[in-house]
Amino acid sequence: MSEPSSSPKLEYWLQQLGHAELPALSGTVRKMMQLTEKQQSSAQQLAQVILPDAGVTAKLLKVANSVHFNPTAVPINTISRAIVMLGFNELRRIGLSVVFIDSLLQKNANHILKQRLAESLHAAVQAKNLAFDLDDEDREEVFIATLFQHLGELSFLSSSTVECKRYLENLHAKPQDSRSLGREVLGIGFSELTQGLATDWHLQHLLTPVNREAEEAVQLGDRLAQTWDEGVDSRPMRQLITSVAAYTGLSLPRSKDLVEASAREAAKLAQQYELESLHEFLPDANANPALVEGDQDSFHQMNYLHKISVLVRENASLHRVFQLITDAIHYAVGFGRVIVVMHDQDKHNFEVRYCLGDSLERLRVKGKIPIKTQQDDILSRVIKERSCELIKRQSSSEDRGRLRVFSPEDDCCCGPIEIEDELVGVIYADNRDQPISDENYQAFQLFVEQLNMICACLVYRRLQGSLPKLQRGQHN
């Protein structure tokens, strides 16, 4: 991004917004953006940026402990622990989003500001999902660049200045003339103000996508969010979906599914971030239930497979792998409930370790299953044959056996979890009162197979890593 030429009006607004209205925002955002995983910044450094703000710290910990980010329900009580559990980039993205949006809403939470902030969050999710060919870190940068794309306009709308009050009054009379009204009131354009603030706050790199592909995703995501209210079947949205298809290489129906799924994801993200004031300006998180609960577009499954491959390259913890696989089967395949049980210390019972979906608290309490039994039920076959099993609604209660604690009569399926040729747990999924399709079951089998391959790979790598140490010990 080239630096804007200085002008008296620009200097006035930089002073007004950066030093009078939003000094804390400019400082915190700059510090968080300077910390990148590529520079091997430590969890302690990120924690030191977040901890001085008690409000942000409390909100981040609450988000980190939500069912979406922490399905195990093991309490996350510190920022350092949250970084370990969620990952550096994930927590930094959550932190930036929360700091940015909360800081702006604290000053002047008017209707137009909330609407623009909701559009920015929606656009950021659209752009990140469009850029699925990029690696995870670059996709996080796409999200952040899109979220901050309208930094100038949002900062101005959050201000308590006389000019902002006049702008809002004029915009109410001429809602389609926001750009011209902005230039008339400020004396400069919003884009010039955005560039000026980015330069003044040393955030130029934040608004500069990593490459042309990323830049296209930012622009397309922004246009999708701004056009969403016209309806997904409107002519402008159909044209944008055609652009999505050209950009991603997906078919038109799959491109439309991707855009709709991203819109719902943006609404869910606002819920997870506890941004209640933005909900009315975002799509319905539970819209189009047939698509949410039924067969999911293969794109979402491929996206999760890509994330899984990244975890393998990063030599991630098994905990993160189990979390991601559980997310994939629930969100991408579309199962209503996903439960991972693993044997206890004495290997007498399976206990619930991860779960997503309905009745989570009841499952955590009642989810203890004896491993050894004389029953010839579905679980016995999974344990003995080390293969996935599907049980249909019409199956007998004897065949369902121990799994009745999770589902007394619905369709369900389960598969083995093995580490070093030992069965350590079982992964279970159902759709409550909805049938499991062949496509759902095949996708479930795929992710169970991926889970076991990753477990074998990560354990092998760690054993290999320990060999040099053992050999050195033998020689000493």
Which residues in 167-284 belong to E strands, given as ranges?
Answer: none
Question: Is the pLDDT at 229 greater than 80, yes or no?
Answer: yes
Condensed to tens digits (0 to 9), the pLDDT of residues 160-170 reads: 889 989 888 88
Question: Is the pLDDT at 246 greater than 70, yes or no?
Answer: yes
More confident residue, 39 or 407: 407
DSSP 8-state code for residue 274: T
More confident residue, 68 or 15: 15
Residue with tokens 């003044």: 200
- Integer Cα distance of 64 and 144 in angstroms: 19
- Catalogue all structural domains in the chain, each as residue range(s) with its CATH number: 8-287 (1.10.3210.10), 298-466 (3.30.450.40)
Condensed to tens digits (0 to 9), the pLDDT of residues 310-338 reads: 777 767 777 778 888 888 888 788 888 89
**What is the rounded average pLDDT for all residues in the chain?**
79
Share of the chain above pLDDT 70, in %: 82
User: For the residues 177-191, what does the mean pLDDT come to?
Assistant: 85
Token reading at 423? 């069965």
Which pLDDT band, with edges at 50, 70 and 90, does 43 fall under?
A: low
Q: Which of 9-18, 96-105, 224-233, 263-272 has the highest mean pLDDT?
A: 224-233
Question: Is the pLDDT at 476 greater than 60, yes or no?
Answer: no
Question: Is the pLDDT at 254 greater than 80, yes or no?
Answer: yes
Q: Which of 34-38, 368-372, 388-392 has the highest mean pLDDT?
A: 388-392
- Integer Cα distance of 393 and 118 in angstroms: 42
Q: What is the 3-state secondary structure (H, E, C) of 288-342?
A: CHHHHHCCCCHHHHHHHHHHHHHHHHCCCCHHHHHHHHHHHHHHHHCCCEEEEEE
Which pLDDT band, with edges at 50, 70 and 90, does 366 fall under?
A: low
Residue with tokens 């008017």: 110
Which pLDDT band, with edges at 50, 70 and 90, does 369 fall under?
A: confident
Question: Is the pLDDT at 295 greater than 50, yes or no?
Answer: no
More confident residue, 86 or 77: 77
Phi, psi of 71 (to 5 degrees): -65, -15
What is the per-residue pLDDT for 236? 93
User: For the residues 387-415, what does the mean pLDDT come to?
Assistant: 83
User: For the residues 51-66, what does the mean pLDDT come to?
Assistant: 77
- Integer Cα distance of 328 and 360 in angstroms: 17
Token reading at 17? 């917004």
